[in-house]
Amino acid sequence: MQQQNQSGMQQAQSMTQPPNMVSTKDHLYITDMLSWNLNACKKAHSYAQQCQDQELKAALDQAGQMHQRHYNKILEHLNKQNPPLN
């Protein structure tokens, strides 16, 4: 029982600094997050363009903008860690 509590406590701790190396699993998850947000942004924009109801159109535009912000924020974090090579 005590072992379970110790492992649970270890999982609850958060990192203060990102790791120097990203694992393959983490890389795949980051790629998925980017894909999900980009796809959701594009779909919301497309549906908003087809929508006749202005209130629904505004909600779809807002959702699309939120996903675009999330996509850009992930890229921003990634670029801070690995500046582009010139």
Domain spans of the chain, in order of start: 24-78
Least confident window among 38-42, 58-62, 81-85: 81-85
Per-residue pLDDT at 41: 97
The residue that leads in pLDDT, 44 or 9, is 44
Could you tell me if 85 and 61 are in contact, meaning their C-beta atoms sit under 8 angstroms apart? no
Q: Note the pLDDT of residue 75.
A: 92
Question: Is 0.75 topped by the overall pTM?
Answer: no
pLDDT for 8 equals 53
3-15 pLDDT tens trace: 555 555 556 678 7
